[in-house]
Amino acid sequence: MSDEKAPIIIKRKKVIAGGHHGGAWKVAYADFVTAMMAFFLLMWLLGATTEKQRKGIADYFHPTIPVNKVSGGGDGAFGGDSVFTQNTLAKNGTGAGLTVQSNPSQSQGENGVDPEAGEDTANKNGDAGLEDIAAKLTGQAGESMVSDLMQRHVITKLTDEGLIVEVFDIPDAPLFTGDATPSPALQDVLRAIVEVFRLATNDIAVQGHTAAVPFAARENPVWEQSSARAQAVRRLLEDGGIPSDRMQRIAGFADRKPVAKDVLSIRNNRIEIILLRHML
């Protein structure tokens, strides 16, 4: 046998610094792409939809209506009076149904509504007709009761408080001459509004707003002016046939709630006539 020894072979493993560290980057990249897709989808929706459609989309993701009409409520965390009261506002609904029960077996509450009353009860409350009244005022319901003059001066909007009819100044046709003398244009507009408001029995609020005056003015008459204009409109509504007991609130807000960015703009000269929702 040979005395020679076998050569010793040493294998050195080469470690390369860097390289990928698993698949975490793929998750981060996927999140980034998803966020960009959502962003561009949002931008497309903002550009391709109307204001009314955007409000509908917003309401879908942030509903303002109760999830369940039959949440009974209760004391403590629920903030209610009893499990039977209709006026209890529980965390997940509004107690018993406010107008029409969808199921006869559901709770009607202490002030329960007869499920067979249906639309009659809703119409008695008056709130069901607010949209129809708004449509008549804006000329969207077939045979319009609105003249070209009203279409220039009037906008309407439905809120939690009720139907707001906003009558505002335009450059060539102010609503008032002097401080609080209604112009012929305003008188024509109010006659049409009275005709439509007779279709409901809801209470009415009148709010006066004015544009700001320059700081250089010696006196600031906006408080007296807005209040006097609201009172003048109230008198015209009552003279037109609106019962005085329907007048719930007359207020002047001066220049404190402008609707235009420029507080001096005549667009801020406006009267808001609100057809209030019935309190249940």
pLDDT tens digits along 232-268: 999 999 999 999 999 999 999 999 999 998 999 999 9
Strand 162-168 to 154-158 pairing: antiparallel
| pLDDT recorded at residue 139 | 65
Sequence letter at residue 208 = G
| pLDDT recorded at residue 10 | 78
**Structural contact between residues 250 and 230, judged by C-beta atoms closer than 8 angstroms:** yes
pLDDT-based confidence at 153, cuts 50/70/90? confident
pTM for this entry: 0.54
- Checking if the pLDDT of 185 tops 50, the result is yes
| Element at 204 (helix H, strand E) | strand 204-209
**Cα 76 from Cα 242, distance rounded (Å):** 44
| Element at 231 (helix H, strand E) | helix 222-239
Q: What percent of the chain has pLDDT over 70?
A: 66
| pLDDT recorded at residue 216 | 60
pLDDT-based confidence at 18, cuts 50/70/90? low
- Checking if the pLDDT of 42 tops 60, the result is yes
| Number of CB atoms found within 10 A of residue 76's CB | 6
- Mean pLDDT, the chain, rounded, equals 75
Sequence letter at residue 39 = F
pLDDT-based confidence at 15, cuts 50/70/90? low
Which range, of 29-43, 49-63, 185-199, averages the lowest pLDDT? 49-63
Which range, of 99-103, 140-144, 203-207, 219-223, averages the lowest pLDDT? 99-103
Which range, of 87-91, 168-172, 196-200, 226-230, averages the lowest pLDDT? 87-91
Indicate left, alpha or beta for 49 from its phi (over 0: left) and psi (-120 to 50: alpha).
beta
Structure-model confidence comparison of residues 109 and 135, the more confident one = 135
- Checking if the pLDDT of 56 tops 60, the result is yes
Burial track 84-120 (b if 16+ CB lie within 10 A, e otherwise): bbbbbebeebbbbbbbbbeeeeebbbeeebebeeeee
**Structural contact between residues 278 and 126, judged by C-beta atoms closer than 8 angstroms:** yes
Q: Which residues on neighbouring strands pair with residue 249, listed in sequence order?
A: 205
- Checking if the pLDDT of 173 tops 50, the result is yes
**Cα 118 from Cα 132, distance rounded (Å):** 18
